[in-house]
Amino acid sequence: MENPPYLNGLNPEQLKAVLQTEGPVMIIAGAGSGKTRVLTYRIAHLIRQEIPAFNILALTFTNKAAKEMQQRIYTICGAEAKNLWMGTFHAVFAKILRFEADRLNYPSAFTIYDTDDSKSLIKTIIKELNLDADKVYKPSVIYSRISNCKNNLINPAAYIASPELMDYDFKAGRGKFYQIYQAYVDRCFKAGAMDFDDLLLNTDKLFRLHPDVLLKYQHKFKYIMVDEYQDTNVCQYSIIKRLAAAHENICVVGDDAQSIYSFRGATIKNILSFQKDYYDAKVFKLEQNYRSTKNIVLAAGHIIANNKEQLEKTVWTDNDSGEKISVVRAVTDNEEGRIVAQSIFEQKMQNQMANSDFAILYRTNSQSRSFEEALRKLSVPYRIYGGTSFYQRKEIKDMIAYLRLIVNPNDEEALKRIINYPSRKIGASTIDRLILIANQTNQSIFDVVCTATRHSILGKTSATVYGFGLMIQSFRTMLESHNAHDLAYHVAKQVGLLTTLHTDKTVEGISRYENLIELLNGIKEFVEDDTSELDKDLPTFLQDIALLTDADKKTDEDKDKVSLMTIHASKGLEFPSVFVVGLEENLFPSQMSLGSRQDLEEERRLFYVAITRAEKKLSLSFATSRFRFGSLLSCEPSRFIEEIDKKYIEMATFKGISPLIGLKKELPTNTTAQLISSLKRNMGGKTLSPKLSSSFIPEDLQELAIGDKVEHNRFGYGEVILIEGEGGQKRASINFDDFGAKVLVLSFAKLRIIK
DNA sequence: ACCTCAAACATTTTT
DNA sequence: TGTTTGAGGT
């Protein structure tokens, strides 16, 4: 590896300092400044200095980032790169915890509960405590509250010791939160299970309570590197601090302007106070953007300047000015989809670009639908990242539940899932009884299952339950002798999963069967993969996939496809042409974030992340109305659009937006009224039936008079019986043929007058 | 105990 | 709009 004379705008001396091997370093890296490259270089540099790779720990946030970086280092340094400890916080800590599980009285093959498992357990606990799970104690709310506590190192004991926290929940009507939290922690422990947050929390606990273990890992990890440091939470911070305490050879990389995970407990404080934690820290700023055009970089800087809480830095670029940022208004979400798809089609033709050069970024997963439809119509291949992952499909979770139970019989959630699937006539009441006995006698549910015949309340089903226990135990005896794939295949056949799914000849049934086969093939691949030094046993496999997300799943032949993903998922990526869509108030910024300045600033950082993904061409779009909860909702353009200096943007003209109607000639102007009326004329009748077309014009409704016959997009036909109020507050009482009398605010109502 | 259907409900972002 | 939950039937 030759040192480049010039890297990321650093002069040779600075570069030498960045690559230095001793002492704490913080690198503040603006968007597109090539921070991954710097991090990669630093690690490669260490290895080249004969520092053994197993002494280096590199922590990232996503599997993708870890894999990518490992790959790059491999090409520079060769096989030694395999010995690096590089991975996500969760993956690396899970590995450590597996080694040291006995120190915390966990089985080394502990289960990792995913979010569904956690919520399901919380729900059972809430029911057991006779609390209202529908309104007051919603499992998802309780879950995020617990997660929040854990991320801030607050265990149940610390919780009950804090009057403020107790008071907060009491005022929110969750007086029994502590009981749920405590029960949840107990149940997880009893089940030999850790949730995502436990992987961090327990690592912290391990190092805190066992100095000898800490010493061992301090000694091992002489060099520590942390990517995306701005997204670390209190718990991660604590672990890193402890690990780095011996050598202080710690290098963190981050960008406070791209901190978008505070909902997960991330706190910018960590990056802001790095220099206080390590008084001799060297700090570097990478401010040159190599990715985007001037227009994009400047506009982004302009937007982020609206935030108060940030480190001072100025991102700049040497690149061309490039095209202006185009802003597009659509009437509905479906039309937004069509405009974007059409625009991709055109850009491809004009500039000979590949599908993979494009990305559509949105705030929420549910927005993907209209873009999928539109792309499909134009036969543009696409790939959605995120959404329901392969591992969340029912048939996959069922199969995995069997494997989990075999590896860890105490796994309560796995047992509940499959004790009666395929059907064994063990119903809900029997399961409730089993849990009751388990709780009373302080055994695991599986213990009760294995002694089922001794419990007379179970009646005749006790024999069936007992038989189920025997079966699982027989599988367990195969753990030692069989590899993961052989065992899984045996189980799938024995239990009847394969035949059950195979006999179902519906379309979904066939796909379920195929998915199961795919999972089995995946396990086979895992077993036969000899590029990795890891064990090939079932526990390792389960631990692996528990931390996998959809984005990490086999990059099959997704060669040339348009990428669709949430902005969160797009972090760290770049595309020549990017569409940021759904820029509407209450959607982006999200409704939930309007409460506080901090939350709004995070949304703005999210927007900053979104637009800095673009290299050459950036398009923003919004719809004036959108389907939500099945009905049409009117929307206002996002405040973020207004925050961009006008000199960087242009309102797009709708050249050929509507292939469905074959509109070829360019529309003359782009004033709002004309756009709307021309769009109206050219609307394809897909979203709204032709009868109920989008003839919503406010001016018309101001002239609405008593006695007029009107048509509403949901309520059908009716007659105006009363008009009251003025201007925006003007309301009409309308007697609908099928829905009776309704009072509608005219400035919002989707009405048209029938002449 | 299981199936079917209708009503209610829900949408932030992820390891 | 799409999914999940509850009631009621078999």
pLDDT of amino acid A751: 62
The helix, strand and coil proportions of chain A, stated in percent and rounded to the nearest 5, come to 50, 15, 35
On the question of pLDDT at A678 being above 80, the answer is no
Q: Kindly indicate the confidence band of residue A4, based on its pLDDT and cuts at 50, 70 and 90.
A: very low
On the question of pLDDT at A346 being above 90, the answer is yes
Q: Kindly indicate the confidence band of residue A112, based on its pLDDT and cuts at 50, 70 and 90.
A: very high
Q: Kindly indicate the confidence band of residue A100, based on its pLDDT and cuts at 50, 70 and 90.
A: very high
Output DSSP code: residue A327. E
Quote the tokens at residue A250.
């710690």
CB atoms within 10 A of CB A582: 24
Q: Kindly indicate the confidence band of residue A661, based on its pLDDT and cuts at 50, 70 and 90.
A: very low
Annotated catalytic residues of A are 35-36, 227-228, 258, 613
Any strand C atom closer than 7 Å to A279 CB: no
- Where is A339: in which H helix or E strand? helix A333-351
CA–C1' distance A365–B11 (Å)? 9
Coil vs helix vs strand at A253: strand
What does the pLDDT look like over A520-546, one tens digit per residue?
998 898 888 766 666 778 888 888 888
What does the pLDDT look like over A276-327, one tens digit per residue?
999 989 888 888 899 999 999 999 999 999 888 777 788 899 999 989 999 9
Range A569-581 average pLDDT: 92
Question: How many Å is the maximal CA-CA distance in chain A?
Answer: 89
Range A570-588 average pLDDT: 92
On the question of pLDDT at A631 being above 80, the answer is no
Q: Which of the nucleotides lies closest to A549 (Cα–C1')?
A: B15
- Is residue A580 within 8 A of residue A618, CB to CB? The reply is yes
State the pTM of this model: 0.81
Range A262-280 average pLDDT: 87
CA–C1' distance A422–B6 (Å)? 27
Q: Which of the nucleotides lies closest to A133 (Cα–C1')?
A: C5
- Is residue A333 within 8 A of residue A322, CB to CB? The reply is no
DSSP codes joined into one string, A47-109: HHTT--GGGEEEEESSHHHHHHHHHHHHHHHGGGGGG-EEEEHHHHHHHHHHHHGGGGT--TT
pLDDT of amino acid A749: 59
CA–C1' distance A360–B10 (Å)? 24
Range A338-363 average pLDDT: 93
Chain B nucleotides close to protein (CB under 7 A) are 1-2, 9-15
CA–C1' distance A509–B2 (Å)? 19
In 3D space, the residue among A637, A620, A639, A640 whose CA is nearest the CA of residue A579 turns out to be A620
Q: Which residue is nearest to nucleotide C5 (CA to C1')?
A: A134
Any strand C atom closer than 7 Å to A5 CB: no
Chain C nucleotides close to protein (CB under 7 A) are 1-2, 6
Quote the tokens at residue A80.
């030694």
Q: In this structure, which amino acid lies at residue A610? A: A
Beta strands in A209-345 (DSSP E): 223-226, 250-254, 282-286, 288-289, 316-317, 325-330
On the question of pLDDT at A680 being above 50, the answer is no
- Is residue A139 within 8 A of residue A117, CB to CB? The reply is no
Rounded to whole angstroms, the Cα distance separating A453 from A462 reads 5
Q: Kindly indicate the confidence band of residue A183, based on its pLDDT and cuts at 50, 70 and 90.
A: very high
Range A40-66 average pLDDT: 89
* Angle between helical axes of A368-377 and A333-351 (0-180°, round to 10): 50
What is the percent of chain A with per-residue pLDDT over 90, rounded to a whole number?
36
Strand B contact set, beta carbon < 7 A? A 61-63, 88-91, 115, 140, 196-197, 260-261, 263-264, 363-366, 386, 420, 423, 425-430, 461, 547, 549, 551, 566, 568-569, 590-593, 599, 628-630
Quote the tokens at residue A247.
């050598």
- Where is A118: in which H helix or E strand? helix A115-128
In 3D space, the residue among A397, A392, A399 whose CA is nearest the CA of residue A493 turns out to be A399
Chain A, 354-393: which CBs lie within 7 Å of strand C? 369
Any strand C atom closer than 7 Å to A508 CB: no
Rounded to whole angstroms, the Cα distance separating A243 from A241 reads 6
CA–C1' distance A496–C8 (Å)? 31
pLDDT of amino acid A312: 76
pLDDT of amino acid A244: 93
- Is residue A239 within 8 A of residue A203, CB to CB? The reply is yes
Q: Which of the nucleotides lies closest to A602 (Cα–C1')?
A: B13
Any strand C atom closer than 7 Å to A668 CB: no
Burial class (CB in 10 A: 0-12, 13-18, 19+), A521: exposed
Which conformational region is residue A360 in: left (phi greater than 0), alpha (psi within -120 to 50 degrees), or beta? beta
On the question of pLDDT at A134 being above 80, the answer is no
Which position has the token pair 């902005």?
A567
Quote the tokens at residue A593.
């974030």
